[in-house]
Amino acid sequence: MTESKVEGTLTLRLHVWFERDEKIFLGIGRALLLEKIEECGSLRQAATDMKMSYRAAWGKLKAAEESIGRPLVQKIKGKGQRYELTPVGRQLARQFLQLQSDIETYAKGKAQDIFGEEVQYYADAYPETKLSSFKAD
């Protein structure tokens, strides 16, 4: 039997989220949406940048706030439809993204040990995705 070499790099894909009462509490999509709102100051612009409708972004935000039981964004007074994250929203987004990074770093190292070859992060393999702005270190 001849030895064959498989082409291509292994890509790590993980989807981590937390649920409460079978409803999403927080996941990567909601954390990235919060991060994008903080960056843009606008839910509409955050939705556009993430290639989702305003309605979908609004629905995800409201569902997260309902599940968490606290507001995650607040309007900036005197700025029309401008938003900023509440301290709770900022903390949850940052802590979740750090957790995601920690999990990916561990999983990548473990996968390389197991398979004996280089493993790349999903965000590196597909830079056009929403995750391209977020990479584990």
CATH, residue 60:
1.10.10.10
Overall pTM surpassing 0.85 (yes/no): no
Q: ∠ CA 6-9-10 to the nearest 5 degrees?
A: 100
pLDDT tens readout for residues 93-127: 999 999 999 999 999 999 999 999 999 988 888 87
Rounded Cα distance, 30 and 71, in Å: 13
What are the two backbone dihedrals, phi and then psi, of residue 99, each rounded to the nearest 5 degrees? Answer: -60, -45
User: In which band, very low, low, confident or very high, does the pLDDT at 136 lie, cut at 50, 70 and 90?
Assistant: very low
Rounded Cα distance, 21 and 75, in Å: 29
Count of the separate structural domains present in the chain:
1
In a domain, 44, yes or no: yes
In a domain, 52, yes or no: yes
DSSP collapsed to 3 states, 57-119? HHHHHHHHHHHHCCCCEEECCCCCCCEEECHHHHHHHHHHHHHHHHHHHHHHHHHHHHHCCCE
User: What percent of the chain lies above the pLDDT cut of 70?
Assistant: 88
In a domain, 26, yes or no: yes
In a domain, 61, yes or no: yes
pLDDT of residue 135: 47
Q: Which domain holds residue 38?
A: 18-120
In a domain, 83, yes or no: yes
User: In which band, very low, low, confident or very high, does the pLDDT at 73 lie, cut at 50, 70 and 90?
Assistant: very high
Rounded Cα distance, 82 and 13, in Å: 34
In a domain, 54, yes or no: yes
In a domain, 137, yes or no: no
State the chain's mean pLDDT as an integer.
88
In a domain, 4, yes or no: no
Contact 17, 25 (CB under 8 A): yes
| The pLDDT of residue 75 is above 70 | yes
